[in-house]
């Protein structure tokens, strides 16, 4: 049972990373339409939060059912999850209240969207790499 939940958690993390990578296309696809950028950002944020919550929930269930103790690796996952959610909410809130019709503001927001997406993707990729190394017994976190 615990193996299935951990496998589900792993699949959801990979789906989440795929969503982050797909998010890079939002500023490019909506390059000339600021209002479309705003709408696409809203949809992306809702999907981001839904999948991130599913990842956290399956991780919590795996921890409880698998009787996994609270280790440095799990604490790192919790902290990264909290950072990702906080940054995503702040990013969308900024896009929501900005006067996006202004071309300069639109350009700055698109640039910020891409930079934040790079940081989020790197955080997830590093965490995946650490957990893979832990599973192979190379890293003891």
Phi and psi at residue 13, to the nearest 5°: -65, -40
Domain count, the chain: 1
Give the pLDDT score at 2. Answer: 82
The answer to whether residue 96 sits within a structural domain is: yes
Domain with 56 in it:
2-135
User: CA 52, CA 95: separation in Å to the nearest integer?
Assistant: 20
The answer to whether residue 20 sits within a structural domain is: yes
The answer to whether residue 85 sits within a structural domain is: yes
Question: Position of tokens 């927001």?
Answer: 109
Give the pLDDT score at 1. Answer: 82
The answer to whether residue 141 sits within a structural domain is: no
Task: Write out pLDDT tens, residues 57-116.
Answer: 999 998 888 888 888 888 999 999 999 999 999 999 999 999 988 999 999 999 999 999
User: CA 121, CA 137: separation in Å to the nearest integer?
Assistant: 24
The answer to whether residue 140 sits within a structural domain is: no
Task: Write out pLDDT tens, residues 1-50.
Answer: 888 998 999 899 999 989 999 999 999 888 888 889 999 999 999 999 99
Please tell me whether residue 97 adopts helix, strand or coil conformation.
helix
């Amino acid at each position: 049972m615990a193996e299935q939940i951990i496998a589900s958690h792993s699949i959801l993390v990979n789906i989440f990373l795929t969503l982050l990578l797909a998010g890079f296309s939002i500023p490019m696809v909506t390059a000339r339409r600021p209002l479309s950028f705003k709408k696409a950002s809203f949809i992306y944020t809702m999907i981001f939060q839904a999948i991130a919550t599913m990842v956290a929930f399956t991780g919590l269930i795996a921890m409880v059912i698998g009787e996994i103790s609270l280790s440095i690796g799990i604490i790192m996952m919790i902290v990264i999850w909290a950072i990702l959610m906080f940054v995503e909410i702040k990013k969308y809130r900024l896009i929501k209240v900005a006067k996006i019709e202004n071309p300069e503001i639109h350009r700055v927001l698109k640039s910020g969207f891409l930079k934040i997406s790079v940081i989020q993707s790197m955080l997830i990729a590093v965490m995946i790499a650490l957990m893979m190394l832990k599973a192979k017994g190379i890293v003891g976190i």
